Amino acid sequence: MTSQRNISEFILLGLSYDQSIQIFCFVIFLLCYVALLAGNLLILISIRCSPLFHQPMYYFLIHLSLIDICYTSTVTPKLIGDLLVERKIISYDNCMLQVFTMHFFGGIEIFILTAMAFDRYAAICKPLHYVIIMNRTRCNLLVLAAWAGGALHSFPQLSMTIQLPFCGPNEIDHYFCDIFPLLKVACTDTYIIGVLVVANSGMVALVTFIVLSVSYGVILFTLRNLSAEGRRKALSTCWSHITVVILFFGPSIFIYLRPPITLPEDKIFALFYTIIAPMFNPLIYTLRNSEMKKAMRKVWCPSVFSKEACN
C-alpha cells in the first residue's frame, strides 16, 4: 500500500467536551504527572545512590522507573496542555511519533516486568543458585532484550500506521494517537491491518500476562516451603509485582485483544496504563518494602538514618 494523505494534522477530541470537566481533569492529571515524576525519580535516585543498585530486583526496578517516566511523558504533557485549549491539534508527524514511542516504551515495560518476574522466580524457587542465575551480565542482557523487544514490537506498528492513507476526516476520538482510532479515520479497508495489530499488541499482552500469571502462581505455590518470616517477606514483594501487572495488563488486553474497533470506554481504560499504573508504581514498590524505605532514608535523610543506626 502506498501512503497517500492530504491532511497535515489531526484533531484530538479528548476526554470530554465539558469545559468544567476539562478544568477538573487538568488539575487532577497535572498533580498525577508531578507525583509520577517525583515518585519515579525518587526511586531512581535512591536505588542508584545505595547498595540496592547491585541487587537484581532493584536493578530492574530502576529501569522500570525510567521507562515509566519516558512512557507516560509521550502522552501526559500533551493531554494536560490540550485540556486548556478548545481545539486540540497534533501534527501528522507528531502523531506518528506518538504511536511509535507509546508502543516502544510500552513494549519495553512489558519485558522489564517479565524480567522482574523471572528474578522473583529465581530468588524464591532457586535460592541456592540465585546469585549464579541472576548475575550482572544476565541482568544486563535481560534489559537489553527488553529494549530490543520494544523495538521489534513498535517498528511494525509504525510501519503499518505510516502507510495508511488519510484523505478526509481528521478527527480522532481519543486524547492521544493510537492505531485503532487512526484506523477509523483512514480512507481504506483496514481489516487486515486491524488483525495484524491484534496479533501484535493483543497477543503480546495476553501471552506475557499468561506467562507472568503462571510464574507468580508457581512462586506462590513454592512459598509454602518457606518459614513464616520468609513467606511474609516474599509475599510482600510478590503482591507488589502482581498489583502492577494487573493494573498495566488488564486495560491493555481489553483494548488490544478484540476486533479492531473503538469504544467510548477505551479512553478511560487507556488512563490506567498511560498515567495511573506508572503513578502508583513508586507507591506499590516502596510502601511495603522495608529495604527500599531504608535506602530512601539513608540517601535523603542521612543524619536521621545515622542517629537511628546508633540507637
pLDDT given at position 63: 94
Residues 14-30 pLDDT 10s: 888 888 889 999 999 99
**Higher confidence at residue 231 or residue 266?**
266
| Residue 157 near residue 179 (C-beta atoms within 8 A) | yes
| C-alpha cell recorded at residue 125 | 524457587
pLDDT band at 190 (very low <50, low <70, confident <90, very high): confident
Average pLDDT over the chain, rounded to whole?
85
Q: Mean pLDDT check: name the lowest of 136-140, 208-212, 233-237, 276-280.
A: 233-237
**Residue 306, pLDDT above cutoff 80:** no
Give the mean model confidence (pLDDT) for residues 217-235.
74
- 14: alpha, beta or left, given left = phi > 0 and alpha = psi -120 to 50? left
Nearest to residue 177, comparing CAs of 3, 14, 2, 8?
14
pLDDT band at 267 (very low <50, low <70, confident <90, very high): confident
Nearest to residue 255, comparing CAs of 197, 191, 176?
197
- If DSSP codes are grouped into helix, strand and coil, which group holds residue 14? coil
pLDDT > 90: what percent of the chain? 33
**Residue 106, pLDDT above cutoff 50:** yes
Residues sharing a CB contact under 8 Å with residue 120, sequence separation 6 or more, in sequence order: 57, 215, 216, 219, 234, 237, 238, 241
**Residue 308, pLDDT above cutoff 60:** no
pLDDT given at position 166: 85
- Amino acid of residue 204: V
pLDDT given at position 272: 86
11-297 belongs to which homologous superfamily? Rhodopsin 7-helix transmembrane proteins (1.20.1070.10)
The domain ranges of the chain are 11-297
Pairing mode, if any, of strands 171-172 and 9-12? Answer: parallel
Whose cell is 517516566? That residue is: 69
pLDDT given at position 288: 66
Whose cell is 540465585? That residue is: 130
